[in-house]
Chains A and B, each alone.
Chain A
Amino acid sequence: GAVVSQHPSRVICKSGTSVKIECRSLDFQATTMFWYRQFPKQSLMLMATSNEGSKATYEQGVEKDKFLINHASLTLSTLTVTSAHPEDSSFYICSAMDGNSPLHFGNGTRLTVT
Chain B
Amino acid sequence: QKEVEQNSGPLSVPEGAIASLNCTYSDRGSQSFFWYRQYSGKSPELIMSIYSNGDKEDGRFTAQLNKASQYVSLLIRDSQPSDSATYLCAVSWSGTASKLTFGTGTRLQVTL
A residues neighboring B (CB under 8 Å): 6, 32, 34, 42-46, 49, 91, 93, 97, 100-108, 110
Contact = CB atoms under 8 A, between A and B. Distances in A.
A32 B103 contact: no
A108 B43 contact: yes
B102 A44 contact: yes
Nearest to B32: A102
Interface stretch (B44-52, B55-63, B66-74): B44-52
Interface of B: 34, 41-46, 49, 88, 96-105
B33 to A, nearest CB: 10
A111 to B, nearest CB: 13
Given A34-B99, A102-B49, A93 B88 contact: no
Contacts of A100: 96-97
B45 A46 contact: no
A44 B42 contact: no
Nearest to A32: B98
